[in-house]
Structure 1
């Protein structure tokens, strides 16, 4: 007779963790109230010049004439052309005003080789 003993499989081997668990990041320390940066006050906004205000007024007048032609007390047949002309004049006024003037020629050609 043969002695047959029950063979049991080896126990499952659990590998050790690769590294220790990392604790959650700590928020940075809050500094004292007196140590934070306070930016300087911004410079004041420049005033709108007369020429820019004329251009903006022409644009506004054109928009009003296109949207509400009854403001003039007339029908839209007069409001549409006047509104479009006013918009074109206002836009042209602002665009032509934004171009720099021609610099004066001081006679210096820079480095001449």
Structure 2
């Protein structure tokens, strides 16, 4: 590090840095003699001038004593707990659902036409069939199948409707 011009370097008196530091630390609390002061008198400030007063002892933290040991109940696994069976408790068991209705032949043909239409479009797209004809037949087959399925959607029994606005929900 370069020193500024005109700055005097203090002379060393053959002592090492450790010795100088130890001397400074040892004389830290000693008052400075008036003749040895190297600062102006206006910079002298006492503790009372700063509003600090006399130095006070620091408060000591309270002594923390350990709490007494208490015997606790051994831990219980909450997953091992089971509720006691109440013989008066009623359990609802739903009835067996009715079997699915058999599909009518027209519905089976419409589903088959839907699958065949998708296959025709895919085979026309990958080049196995002439693309224009396969795509046209596939689209017509899918449209006819969807139309048939939509027209055949109906209420199974129109006379079975109740006039109940709650649709049977009673609490």
Q: What is the TM-score normalised by the length of structure 2?
A: 0.38
1:57 paired with 2:119, answer no
Match of 2:100 in 1: 45
1:63 and 1:82 mapped to 2: Cα distance?
10
Alignment equivalent of 1:89, drawn from 123, 141, 144: 144
Q: What is the TM-score normalised by the length of structure 1?
A: 0.54
Please report how far the alpha carbon of residue 26 of structure 1 lies from its aligned counterpart in structure 2 after TM superposition: 5.1
Contact 2:124–2:135, Cα closer than 8 Å, also in 1: yes
Match of 2:64 in 1: 12
Match of 1:27 in 2: 80
The runs of at least 4 consecutive aligned structure 1 residues that moved more than 4 Å come to: 38-43
| Number of aligned positions between the proteins | 87
From the CA coordinates, give the structure whose radius of gyration is larger: 2
Superposed CA deviations along residues 49-99 of structure 1, whole A, max 9, x for unmatched, are: 1121021011011011111149xx841110001100110110111111113
2:121 and 2:79 mapped to 1: Cα distance?
61
Aligned-CA RMSD value: 4.1
Higher relative contact order, structure no. (Cα contacts within 8 Å, ≥ 6 residues apart): 1
1:9 and 1:64 mapped to 2: Cα distance?
85
1:80 paired with 2:132, answer no
Superposed CA deviations along residues 14-35 of structure 1, whole A, max 9, x for unmatched, are: 3568xx5672325135xxxxxx
1:42 and 1:16 mapped to 2: Cα distance?
64
Structure 1 unmatched runs, 5+:
1-7, 30-37, 105-113
